[in-house]
Amino acid sequence: MHTLNRVCLTVCTRCRPPEFTSPDEERPGYKLAAAILRRVQRHAALPLAIHMRGARCMSQCKRPCVVALSAPAKFTLLFGDLSAGTDAHAVITLAQQYAESSDGLVPRAERPAPLRAGILGRIAPLGFAGDIIDPAFAFPPNPTKGHFP
C-alpha cells in the first residue's frame, strides 16, 4: 500500500436525464454529490484523503451521473452512468483506492462493481512517458526533460 495522497473528487451537480425538468437540487447529479458529501463528512476523522468539489457541468450529459478523480502525477479518471441513489459508497471506495495507488490506475476487477463499467476516460498526467503515450504524435519530437507533454 502506498502513502495516501490527497485526491480531488469532482462530482457533476447538474447531471440529469434528458427529460428531467425539476429544480437543480432535485437533479440526480446534485443528489449524488450530496450523498457523497454526507458520507465524507461523516468519516472526516478517517484518513480518506479526499478533497471534494461539485462542478456545475462536466459535459458528459449523455452519461449521467458523472465523477472524476484527479491528483498530481496521477492519471485522471472520469466515470459516468452512476446512480444518485446507490453509488455514493462505491465512489468513495474508488476514491480511496485511487489515493492508495501510485499512478491513479485502479484495475477494473478491483473497483467497486458500479465503477467497473462506465469509465469515460483516463487521461495521463503531464510528463507521463509510458506505453500508453504514442510517441509518433509527440510534438516537439524530443521535448526537454521535465517539460510537457
CATH number of 7-137, picked from 3.40.30.10, 3.40.190.10, 3.40.50.1000, 3.40.50.970: 3.40.30.10
Specify the 3-state DSSP secondary structure of 121: strand
Max CA-CA distance within the chain? Answer: 52
Half-sphere exposure of 43 (CA within 13 A, CB side): 15
Helices (H), 8-143: 28-42, 88-100
Cβ–Cβ under 8 Å, residues 8 and 95 = no
The model's pLDDT over 81-123, given as tens digits with 9 standing for 90+, comes to 999 999 999 999 999 999 999 999 999 999 999 999 999 999 9
Indicate the pTM of the whole model: 0.86
Confidence of residue 44 (pLDDT cuts 50, 70, 90): low
How do beta strands 67-70 and 76-79 pair?
antiparallel
Residue 48: the pLDDT is 64
Say how far apart CA 96 and CA 86 lie, in whole Å. 18
Residue 143 CB: number of other CB atoms within 10 A?
A: 13
Share of the chain above pLDDT 90, in %: 62
Of 87, 43, 97, 39, give the one whose Cα is nearest residue 64. Answer: 87
